[in-house]
Amino acid sequence: MNEPVRLSKRMSELGICSRREADEWIERGWVMVDGKVISQLGSKILPDQKITVRKQASLEQSKKVTILINKPVGYVSGQAENGYKPAVSLINETTHWKNDPSKEKFRPSQLRSLVPAGRLDIDSVGLLVLTQDGRIARQLIGENSTTDKEYLVRVKYLKPGRLPDSDLRLLRHGLKLDGKPLLPAKVHWQNDDQLRFVLHEGKKRQIRRMCEAVGLKVIGLKRIRIGQVRLGDLPPGQWRYLGADEKF
């Protein structure tokens, strides 16, 4: 516990900012350790040393936006691929939800460094988070993230009869993907052909692969919640800002 660690890593661990932001602030002379400015990248400190940042850093961080979008089918979460457009291409003044309670005004500069904090595959719809804030990205997709995500999944059973209770229990806990056990999940029937999933992880196409493992075909998949933030009435293809009072 008393081994020196990189200053940028320690700042990220404490939730002050992302590592990339920490490096930028260090280079600008905005970071102090025990009252002394540290401007050398790669500097190491002891875990019990006190880190403070100048007001310029806090001011710059407060300008960063986080955007919630109701992603439609046919858009990829991240960079354009195979001819499909990225979800960020939907963000402009005309697609800004008219009922957004935020007082924030859209500026094209908000699109810079706006990255998805988690995936939602091309055939899935619902809540996607795009953020400029490294702290939020780390909270949602970092190694130690515990933020749960809720989905409504329309399915078709490919075998005679109905999905056995034993397979429903297997969806909740006991399946493996890529040779690794999955974390326990909450899975319940919403109605005859729709399941509700609550996951604490987000492996690639996880729900679709889980369903395939027990003979279910996914017909439609919609993410409706990430942590305490819900999709709500946000229309497909439109977006809003994460409110100042909203926390994941």
CA-wise closest residue to 6 among 52, 36, 35, 49: 49
Residue 24's CB is within 10 A of a number of other CB atoms, namely 17
Residue 33 three-state SS = strand
Residue 224's CB is within 10 A of a number of other CB atoms, namely 16
Has 178 been annotated as catalytic?
no
Place of tokens 């100048």: 54
Residue from 23, 34, 121, 165 carrying the catalytic annotation: 121
- The whole-angstrom distance between residue 199's C-alpha and the CA centroid of its chain comes to 13
Report the sign of the C-alpha dihedral through residues 172, 174, 180, 184, in that order.
positive
- Alpha carbons within 13 angstroms on the beta-carbon side of residue 155 total 30
Residues recognised as catalytic: 121
